[in-house]
């Protein structure tokens, strides 16, 4: 995984729940390519089609609260969201995102100082820059970073079982 990258911001608010990220009607569609088209539909129906690979989501507190629905982070991973920066994340979403190789970064300050369409630059385990300002970010614990580095928990387990393709 690259240690630094930059991307365009899509900006969301507090308490973005998994029913908003992926409504229940769509979770049993057979492929993730179909599921991902419905991301954020109740809140912003146009968003899934507008998201480009490498884009970054910036949100407020408690991103991913609600159900254990893993289709939520998996769909964001499938949309090739580069990372999500939020003031805080709900716990099941946090684990699910990591297990799908989706990078999450906590920042209390950035979400209040950026707009949709701004460009943010990320240096993992160090800091982020946006609109000429620098924001510190926490280090990612080793066991979690290893899963992201492996490309998600499936690949981690394949490595463990010596069947990595």
CA-based nearest residue to 85, from 4, 10, 152: 10
| Count of chain residues binding other proteins (CB under 8 A) | 42
Q: Radius of gyration over alpha carbons of the chain, in Å?
A: 15
Query: Which range in 24-32, 46-54, 118-126, 132-140 contacts other proteins by CB under 8 A?
Result: 24-32
Identify which of 71, 64, 26, 67 has the alpha carbon closest to the alpha carbon of residue 45: 26
Using an 8 Å Cβ cutoff, are 94 and 103 in contact?
no
Of the ranges 91-99, 102-110, 117-125, 130-138, which one interacts with other proteins (CB under 8 A)? 91-99
Question: What is the footprint of other proteins within residues 99-158 (CB under 8 A)?
Answer: 99-100, 141, 143, 152-154, 156-158
Q: Which of 96, 104, 124, 128 is in the footprint of other proteins by CB under 8 A?
A: 96
How far apart are alpha carbons 114 and 118 in whole angstroms? 7
Q: Is 85 in the site for other proteins (CB under 8 A)?
A: no
Q: Report in angstroms how near the CB of residue 88 gets to other proteins at its nearest.
A: 6
What's the rounded Cα separation, in Å, for the pair 165 and 146?
18
Give the count of beta carbons closer than 10 Å to the beta carbon of residue 86: 25
Interacting residue ranges for other proteins, rule: CB under 8 A: 15, 17, 19-20, 23-25, 27-30, 42-43, 61-62, 65-70, 73, 88, 90-92, 95-96, 99-100, 141, 143, 152-154, 156-158, 160-163
């Amino acid at each position: 995984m690259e240690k630094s990258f930059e991307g365009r911001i899509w900006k969301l608010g507090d308490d973005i729940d998994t029913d908003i990220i992926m409504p229940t009607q769509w979770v049993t569609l057979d492929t993730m390519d179909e599921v991902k088209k419905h991301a954020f539909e109740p809140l912003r129906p146009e968003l899934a089609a507008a998201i480009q690979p490498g884009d970054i989501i910036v949100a407020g507190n408690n991103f991913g609260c609600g159900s254990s629905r893993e289709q939520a982070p998996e769909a964001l991973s499938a949309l090739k969201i580069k990372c999500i920066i939020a003031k805080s994340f709900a716990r099941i979403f946090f684990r699910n995102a990591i297990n799908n190789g989706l990078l999450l970064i906590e920042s209390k300050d950035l979400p209040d100082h950026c707009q949709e369409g701004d460009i943010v630059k990320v240096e993992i385990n160090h800091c982020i820059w946006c609109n000429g300002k620098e924001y510190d970010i926490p280090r990612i614990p080793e066991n979690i970073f290893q899963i992201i580095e492996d490309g998600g928990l499936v690949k981690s387990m394949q490595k463990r079982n010596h069947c990595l393709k």
